Amino acid sequence: MTLGRVWSVALAGLDGRIVEVEAAIGNGLPRTVLVGLPDAALHESRDRCRAAFASIGSWPSRLLTINLSPATLPKAGSHYDLAISAAVMVADELAPPARLAGTVVLGELGLDGRVHRVRGLLPALLAAQRAGFEAAIVPRGQVGEARLVDGITIVPIGSLGALRAWLSDEPLPDADDGVVEDGAAPDDAVGERAGASASLHSPHVAAGDLADVVGQPEARWALEVAAAGRHHVLFHGPPGVGKTMLAERLPGLLPELTVAEALEVSAIHSLAGYSLDDSLELRPPYADPHHSATMASVVGGGQRMARPGAISIAHRGVLFLDEAPEFRPHVLEALRTPLEQGTVTLGRSEVQARYPARFQLVLAANPCPCGHAGVAGLRCTCAPHAIRTYAGRLSGPVTDRIDIQQSLVPLSAAYLRASLGERETTAVVAARVLEARQRQQRRLADTPWRTNGEVPGTVLRRRLPLPDGVSALEDAVRTKLLNPRGVDKVLRLAWTIADLAGADRPTSEHLQIALGMRRNAVTGWGSAA
């Protein structure tokens, strides 16, 4: 019996484990056996690999056993195709095993032998790097993404024939033979040290400028405070007053991500199937799922191996839920734990997937199904029961986790004329936000938190001095206008307002403003505490 051994990576969430792919050719009736808890896509690898082998030779005509170890770990995805084929090559003595030492192999095969892109390449390579592997064979079309991982040699392969040639240390096929993908000649890229050509830049933000928003100075101020302290926001008002425009401009106010944060965000996007270039996304992400979205698409899910949802796609960025009351109630309720913990754990019978989900939530809601309730000059056609039901779709526990609750009203003609003058741009406001963030980072330098919105209540009250005018908070608690969570959120808001004002600590005025921002909710919408 001859044996071939190759290494690949299994992913459970962003956590990767090294998988040993073994191929053994022995005596017996010609058939291929694949063991090691493969899912449906992986189980079909036998047929893809057998067809692809026609481009370099013939599939073994004896009993072929392929084992994925550890056998108790569920395996999912098509990225094992190339590793299985490499192991079969070694077992069938079509290629020597020497060059595979310390190398992981990732890639999906087409029936003609081409190597296709795969999901989760970036987190898989990060796991391989942590495990001490020195090189990785990856699809040619994803060489830019692979180079984002520093300290590991990247071998881009476009076809099964190119893989065999590389393993045998032979000249690689020409790029114009119709097999190798994506332009650049393979021998130009083989052996390049990852990270050497990975440039860091901020992609164009096409969300528009804050100057596009006419009027609504209170809402613009609320958005600035939210950006400065990473606070969650609920915009409430009739259609057409600018709720969506404001939410879309929030990412432009946020500071750029650090390289470590950008790498984490890019790993999630890779796992979700997004195409990555040879540069990190330094701008905070933005996700806005439709109100018909399912639980799996918003929170994450899947049958055997749960994939990231919109809350993880928006990690380190903004999650915007327009027409929030139209979302399914169980989807909204599922946001409660991620809002508090910054992670989501999706359990399945065989494995648990944990994804980061530290997003900034922006909700937008109309006053009623038709949107005209309480609007001067407009007639609401909704029954009172329908208005109450509509408002009740945002439950108290959900709205209680929203820091800022801001009502927007239509502009009058006179106010509209006054608002058509010069307005602050995104760049001007973003500069103030960045300065406020820097003050927070200096104050919280010896803690795991970087913004006021992240600081736990116990730490907030113990380490940071309470602002002047705390009696106003005591009155709100005594009259049941604020609960303990509401007190913490008011204190966080007060600190953010002080940071924007350049003050060393909040004053009674800052506290009063924070109380107003916390309480600026229309009666009947969940809990205003």
Whether 359 and 481 map to the same domain: the answer is: yes
Percentage of the chain modeled with pLDDT above 90: 67
Average pLDDT over residues 214-226: 92
pLDDT number for residue 182 = 36
pLDDT number for residue 197 = 41
Q: Which of these three, 173, 197, 221, is where a domain ends? A: 197
Q: Using 50, 70 and 90 to split pLDDT, how confident is the model at 1?
A: low
Distance between start and end Cα atoms, the chain:
71
Whether 426 and 476 map to the same domain: the answer is: yes
Torsion sign, CA atoms 306, 110, 194, 152:
positive
User: How far, in Å, are 210, 240, 356, 378, 387 from residue 410 at the CA level?
Assistant: 18, 8, 38, 11, 20
Whether the Cβ atoms of residue 404 and residue 517 lie closer than 8 Å to each other: yes
- Res. 526: pLDDT tops 50: no
Whether 344 and 443 map to the same domain: the answer is: yes
Whether 264 and 369 map to the same domain: the answer is: yes
Domain that holds residue 34: 2-197
Whether 442 and 311 map to the same domain: the answer is: yes
pLDDT number for residue 133 = 97
pLDDT number for residue 188 = 38
pLDDT number for residue 410 = 85
Residue 205 domain-assigned (yes or no): no
Which residues face 4 on adjacent strands? 23
The string of DSSP letters for 199-247 reads EEEPPP--S--GGGS-S-HHHHHHHHHHHHHT--EEEE--TTSSHHHHH
Question: Tell me: the pLDDT tens digits for 403-459?
Answer: 999 999 887 766 666 666 678 999 999 999 999 999 999 999 999 999 999 999 888
For the chain, the residue count is 529
Question: Tell me: the pLDDT tens digits for 317-349?
Answer: 999 999 999 999 999 999 999 999 999 998 876
pLDDT number for residue 174 = 54
Rounded Cα gap, residues 410 and 133, in angstroms: 60
Whether the Cβ atoms of residue 105 and residue 137 lie closer than 8 Å to each other: yes
Listed range (63-72, 84-93, 104-113, 511-520) with the worst mean pLDDT: 511-520
Whether the Cβ atoms of residue 492 and residue 231 lie closer than 8 Å to each other: yes
Whether 288 and 365 map to the same domain: the answer is: yes
- Res. 119: pLDDT tops 70: yes
Q: Can you read off the two tokens belonging to residue 244?
A: 């969506």
Total structural domains within the chain: 2
Contact partners, residue 110, CB within 8 Å, separation at least 6: 48, 52, 116
Whether 239 and 164 map to the same domain: the answer is: no
Question: Tell me: the pLDDT tens digits for 169-201?
Answer: 888 775 433 333 333 333 333 444 444 444 444
User: How far, in Å, are 212, 410, 412, 496 from residue 215 at the CA level?
Assistant: 10, 9, 10, 23
Whether 279 and 361 map to the same domain: the answer is: yes
Average pLDDT over residues 490-513: 92
Whether 328 and 468 map to the same domain: the answer is: yes
pLDDT number for residue 514 = 92
Average pLDDT over residues 256-272: 93
pTM: 0.88
- Provide the H-helix boundaries in 105-155: 121-130, 143-146
Q: Using 50, 70 and 90 to split pLDDT, how confident is the model at 461?
A: confident
The string of DSSP letters for 333-384 reads HTTHHHHHHSEEEEE-SS-EEEEE---EEEEEE-SSSSS-TT-TT----S-H
Residue 524 domain-assigned (yes or no): no
Whether the Cβ atoms of residue 317 and residue 273 lie closer than 8 Å to each other: no
Query: Which helix (H) or strand (E) element contains residue 489?
Result: helix 484-501
Average pLDDT over residues 120-140: 96
pLDDT number for residue 418 = 63
- Count of C-beta atoms within a 10 Å radius of residue 462: 8
Rounded Cα gap, residues 99 and 135, in angstroms: 10
Q: Using 50, 70 and 90 to split pLDDT, how confident is the model at 208?
A: confident
Average pLDDT over residues 491-501: 95
pLDDT number for residue 466 = 73
Query: Which helix (H) or strand (E) element contains residue 390?
Result: helix 384-392
Average pLDDT over residues 366-377: 88
Q: Using 50, 70 and 90 to split pLDDT, how confident is the model at 402?
A: very high
Cα angle 291, 292, 296; round to 5: 105
Rounded Cα gap, residues 229 and 202, in angstroms: 22
Q: Which of these three, 197, 218, 247, is where a domain ends? A: 197
